[in-house]
Amino acid sequence: PTEEERAEIAEKERLRKKRHEAYLRRKANGWQNAYYQKHKAAKKAAMDAKKEAIRAEDQANGVYYLPNQKGESA
């Protein structure tokens, strides 16, 4: 690697370590868990909505059947 590339790699490593130390401080102080708990419900709702959309599309295409529908359609 050239001198410029080495400097760029060193800068990225410095930032990575700085961000990791900040994360560890947040984790030790409880802020990270507070943030996680605050956003957990919204992320789960978004994920469940995406899953439902995919499931509905699969049901429309005949790929996915609910367990109680499988016996009825057969």
pLDDT tens readout for residues 14-69: 999 999 999 999 999 999 999 999 999 999 999 999 999 999 998 888 887 777 76
| Token representation of residue 58 | 């699969």
Whether the predicted pLDDT of 70 surpasses 70: no
Looking at residue 66, what is its pLDDT?
Answer: 75
On whether the pTM is more than 0.95, the answer is no
Looking at residue 69, what is its pLDDT?
Answer: 63
Domain residues for the domain of 15 are: 3-73
The answer to whether 41 touches 35, Cβ cutoff 8 Å, is: no
| Token representation of residue 34 | 């507070």
Q: How confident is the model at residue 74 (pLDDT cuts 50, 70, 90)?
A: very low
**C-alpha triplet 38, 44, 48: angle, nearest 5°:** 160
Number of domains in the chain: 1
Task: Report how far residue 51's alpha carbon sits from residue 55's, in angstroms, rounded to the nearest whole number.
Answer: 6
